[in-house]
Amino acid sequence: MEYRNLGASGLKVPVLSFGTATFGGQGPLFSAWGRSDASEARRLIDVCLDAGVNLFDTADVYSNGASEEILGAAIKGRRDKVLISTKTGLPMGDGPLDAGTSRYRLVAAVDAALRRLNTDYIDLLQLHAFDAFTPVDEVLSTLDALVRAGKLRYVGASNFSGWHLMKALGVAKRQGWPRYVAHQVYYSLVGRDYESELMPLALDQGVGALVWSPLGWGRLTGKIRRGQPLPTNSRLHETAQFGPPIDDEKLYAIVDALDAVATEAGRSVPQIAIAWLLTRPSVSSVIIGARDEAQLRDNLGAVGWSLSPDQIARLDRASAVMPAYPYYPYRIQEGFARLNPSPV
């Protein structure tokens, strides 16, 4: 397993980390993802640790806290061998204090997460969404207090826009508060919006990308093909409306390229899709998920070998998208491109 620094921090993380949204299986979204109990979770974590994967990602909103509880039970007796990343900010109820990242909510949410995880500290806390109703200074000063109290080691964000992230980084620097070292983002061969603004920001500011849904919300599993119906066991039947949209023809063109490279490399389609992400600038770790051990072991096979430059280029061409304004002139007009070379 390769390890990389998480952004500009000194924290070393594995290039593959394990997402535990499949733990618990409560509600229409998470029950479709997976239903691992504590016993199954412990086995999956055993496999991860044997492979060198020691970073486990969860969130309070995953199965209404059940994911954190099961993760806490599954790592009992080996807390010192793992890194825990969790997230908060999305609604955990219908009340006015059940969502957001106010001082009130953050303090309560961190204490609740610590209880569910059965630990006294969280290695990385990420804000699950930007809270436009709470001043950035209030958010960051609260995170600073939680770090000083020993409850948090590092802080990050998830699903922020460029200006959300940059504003927080600027305030943190001015006040001497902990800065976001990680940004958990959606990024895949069928979703490359991250590259337009957030990737250059990450490279400039030293913010490591933790990639969620590297298989494009289940579309790059190798089971979806042009001219064939959606497999009956695909979770997309129940979850497609919750995930990022993708044009069918674009998807099929990308899958065709993945198929060709997978055949050449003697690898599975998911392994190729994940391996491509590991070549991208600013990526610290790709979060893989699995409903069972076989799926997990296949995803773990994305490391220990390399795509050729030609294979990377073909995947790039098949998945390329024209960015929205104001970014497209920098991609297609010579004068703009000379002033601002693309990082990809």
Annotated catalytic residues are: 62
Contact status, residue 155 vs residue 213, Cβ threshold 8 Å: no
SS3 220: coil
β-sheet bridge partners, residue 12? 5
SS3 286: strand
Structure tokens belonging to residue 320: 């390329």
Q: What is the DSSP letter of 323?
A: P
Q: Which residue has the tokens 């958010």?
A: 139
Reported as type and span, the H/E element at residue 311 is helix 309-319
